[in-house]
Structures are given as C-alpha cells and as structure tokens.
Amino acid sequence: MIEKPMIIQELEEIQDTALEALKKIENEEALQNWRRDILGRSSAVMSVFSNISQHPKELRPLIGQVANQVKQTLETALLDRSEIVKEAAILQKLQDEKLDVTLPGRRPVTGRYHPVSTVLRRIYAIFADMGFQVHRSRDVESDLFNFELLNIPAYHPARDMWDTFYVEGEGVVLKTHTSPGQIYAMRKNAPKPTRAILPGMCYRYEQISARSEIQFNQLEVIAVGKNITFGDMKGTLNGFVRRLFDKDVRTRLRPSYFPFTEPSAEMDVECFVCGGKGCSVCKGSGWLEIMGCGMMHPVVLQNGGYDPTIYSGFAAGMGPERISMLLHKIEDIRYFWGNDIRFLEQFR
Ligand code: PHE
C-alpha cells in the first residue's frame, strides 16, 4: 500500500471546500467568480494538468485520473447549482413583479372644454346648419374698422357706448366688439351674398364686476344679399334661440339703438328661471336680454362694398359668456376668466 501522494490529498481538499462554497452561492455573479477561481486556467485544479511533469512518472496516471475526476465533479456541481440559482432568480422576479390584475385602473386626468368653448361650438353648429360660415378677425383693430366704417365718426356721442382700450400708436384700439368683422366679411364677398358668423375676444375699459369683464367673447351674425328683410332676421334669430335653449322658448324684439343698424333692436328670451313670471334673475321683468341686432345701416353696407339701393342685410351680436351664464345659472361673469379649477371642473 503506497501512501497517497500529497497532491491527491490537496485535490480532495480543494474539491471539498469548493463544493462547500458552491452550496452557499445564491446569484449568477458569485457563480461566475467561483468558476473563475476553481476551474479557471490559473486555478489550483487546472494547474495540476499543466504541471503534471513535476511528478514522478509512475504517479502521473493516478494524479491525472484524480484531477480529472475532481474537475468533472466540480463541473457537474457547478451546472446543478447554476440551475438552482436561475430558478430562484425567476421565482424572485415573479414575486417582485407581481401584478394584481383585479386592481381598478387609475383614471387619467383629462382636460375639458371651457364652458365658453362649449357654447361657442353649439352656436357654430346651429349656424353652420343654416349655411353660415365662420370668419375670424384680429384683436388689435384700427379706429377706422372698430368705429369709423361702422358709422361711428370720431367725437360722435355714440362712442360712449364702448369704453375703449387705446393702444399706443395713432388710431389703434383693442376691438370693443366683433362688428368690425362685418366690414371684412362683406368686403371679401361683395357683391355675392354673405352669410357669416364672427366670433372673437373683445375688450372694454370697464370696472370689473359680476356683470362686466374687461375681456369677453362676442359672436356677430350677418346676412347680406338681395331682399333680406327684418322678418328674415327675426326668423333666423328665433330659429337659432329655439335650438340653443328650448324649442318652445318665447322671444321678443325690443326697439334699441346702434349706430350701424337701422332699425335696431334687442332680442330678449323668456326668463327660464321663473318662466316669465318675474324673478331676481330677470329683475322682475320676465325677460332676459340676449343680443343686439338690426338691419344693416346703408353706410355700413356701402363701406362693406354693397350698393345699399340694391342690397340689404341684418346683423346681430351676442355674448357667449352671457349665454353660458343663462344656460348654467352662473351668477358672476368673473368665473370665466378666473381660471379657478373648481369652477371649470363642473363642466363636462
Ligand atoms: N356690436 C354691438 C355691441 O357690441 C352689438 C350688435 C351687433 C348690435 C350687431 C347690432 C348688430 O354692443
């Protein structure tokens, strides 16, 4: 019985400690390190092969055999461990990324239309059905278009109807109403007939209160052609109001004054809070004012490029904020441009 060569004992020890260490390995990175240290090119086990010639000839086969066995044992153990580590990693991943498909989803916060946009869109739709086109015009306007061409000469007392923001520069104003658009729209079409609505932001140098803002929308309605009568205006506006509010709502035309229309009127709708009996909203009158209107003044038709002896037309102007206030019973116009999210969120 020959004594076991030292090297064989060493190999067995290496194998034991390596297997012991392997059992404790939990992750892929540690596995790779173990492989490099134990089975890598410069590891103790592998150097036995390269240094085999240092051993006596008769011992070399035995040493080689044992070294091979050790190497194989370690390789198989590594494969087994690697399986276990991989499986554990998958389980861990499943655990960490568990998805509860029964949880109700989180609703994304969506934007909404501003109440004035909603009203404007409804108005557009109604007039579009009647063949009206939408025209847009500028916010900064010349005195000429805002007043002069609309039959409001400088120093005419009618200018007091509009508290005007004057912009730096000669005769430059922020438009006080959408009526200047009448001239642009007519000049574009004359002498062909014009049927248009003109929405836009208007500005007035006024004390801000529950009923008046310095900035608000208006929407102008115009129709110009041959044989257009006051009756056409009444029919068109009544049709519009009934579609906007209610098919049975009553309206009335009240004489009024505007420099650019003759005759001029104010259209009222029956108060839908009290049904015409009189309440605080209609200030006891039973009626709510919703727009100014009238037959286009010959001077305005002329300035728009139509011969007033051949053509006639009507115009009307309304305030979408006011209409929205009536529709939703909003009692303060300042809410519209106050940007209070609690107000805006109420409109779906
Ligand atoms: N432009 C007028 C205003 O701002 C309203 C109006 C428009 C009246 C068209 C008659 C015709 O008060």
DSSP codes of every residue in 281-330: TTTTSSEEEEEEEEEEPHHHHHHTT--TTTEEEEEEEE-HHHHHHHHHT-
Question: 0.75 cut: is pTM over it?
Answer: no
Cα separation, 157 vs 253, in Å, equals 25
Q: Which of 160, 162, 179, 213 to mutate to test the pocket of ligand 1 (most atoms within 8 A of CB)?
A: 179
Nearest CA to ligand 1 atom 3: 177
At 329 the pLDDT is: 85
Q: pLDDT tens for the chain, 348 residues: list them.
A: 456 788 889 999 999 999 999 999 999 999 999 999 999 988 989 988 888 888 888 888 889 999 999 999 999 999 999 999 999 999 998 888 888 888 898 888 888 899 999 999 999 999 999 999 999 989 999 999 999 999 999 888 888 888 899 988 889 999 999 999 999 999 999 999 999 999 999 999 989 988 889 999 999 999 999 999 999 999 999 999 999 998 889 999 999 999 999 999 999 999 877 888 888 878 899 998 999 999 999 999 999 999 999 999 999 999 999 999 988 888 889 999 998 989 998 887
Q: Which of 237, 257, 258 to mutate to test the pocket of ligand 1 (most atoms within 8 A of CB)?
A: 258
Pick the CATH number of 115-344 from 3.30.930.10, 3.10.290.10, 3.30.565.10, 3.40.50.11540: 3.30.930.10
Pocket of ligand 1 (CB under 6 A): 177, 179, 220, 258, 261, 292-294, 315-317
Distance from the alpha carbon of residue 73 to the mean position of ligand 1, in angstroms: 99
Q: Which of 186, 260, 297 to mutate to test the pocket of ligand 1 (most atoms within 8 A of CB)?
A: 260
Cα separation, 236 vs 124, in Å, equals 14
**Identity of the residue numbered 298:** P
In what order do the strands lie in the sheet containing 194-203?
Answer: 133-134, 194-203, 215-226, 311-318, 287-296, 261-270, 251-258
Cα separation, 285 vs 270, in Å, equals 9
List pLDDT tens digits, range 236-246: 999 999 999 98
Distance from the alpha carbon of residue 76 to the mean position of ligand 1, in angstroms: 94
Distance from the alpha carbon of residue 249 to the mean position of ligand 1, in angstroms: 23
Strand partners, 289: 268
Tokens of 229: 């009568």
Q: 194 with 279: CB under 8 angstroms?
A: no
Nearest CA to ligand 1 atom 2: 317
Nearest Cα to Cα of residue 198 among 179, 214, 216: 179
Q: 132 with 333: CB under 8 angstroms?
A: no
> Ligand 1 atom closest to Cα of 222?
9
Distance from the alpha carbon of residue 154 to the mean position of ligand 1, in angstroms: 18
| Domain ranges (residues) in the chain | 6-96, 115-344
Nearest CA to ligand 1 atom 7: 317
Distance from the alpha carbon of residue 226 to the mean position of ligand 1, in angstroms: 22
At 3 the pLDDT is: 64
* H or E stretch at 230: helix 230-244
> Ligand 1 atom closest to Cα of 314?
11
Classify residue 194 by its DSSP letter: E
